[in-house]
Amino acid sequence: MKDSEILKIINKLITMIITTSEQVFGRETKQILGLVKGNTIRAKHIGKDIMAGLRNLVGGEIKEYTEALNEAREEAIQRMIKNAEELEADAIIGVRFTTSQIMAGAAELLVYGTAVKLND
């Protein structure tokens, strides 16, 4: 196996390139594979809501909600990456996040982008 082939395999194993820009700078897009997305729906947790309510009274960051949102974001990103890997993508460009309330006490976090193949 050539060094360049080994490097390709290692780069693929290490990470998926994810960017909010419409291109990967320094690399040429060879093929657009299509839309990839990941989402998660989270409901309120009564224990965390009580703590958040108390924090709301005294002001400051509501750490319980910050942690929940960070966890939801990471889960959605991992699902998007899995979707891109199924298409054998090298990168995901134009990544965007959105949230929406599904019902009282539950919200969806959606991340989406365009899966692409890059020239070597």
What pTM, to 2 d.p., does this model score?
Answer: 0.77
Position 55 scores a pLDDT of: 56
Question: What tens digit of pLDDT does each residue of 8-21 get?
Answer: 666 656 688 999 99
Domains, the chain, with CATH or none: 17-118 (3.30.110.70)
Distance CA(32)–CA(113), nearest Å, equals 11
Question: For residue 27, is pLDDT > 60?
Answer: yes
Alpha helices in the chain (DSSP H): 3-14, 46-58, 63-86
Position 91 scores a pLDDT of: 96
Question: What tens digit of pLDDT does each residue of 62-111 get?
Answer: 777 788 888 899 999 999 999 999 999 999 999 999 999 888 778 899 99
C-alpha separations of 41 from 64, 94, 104 in Å: 16, 22, 12
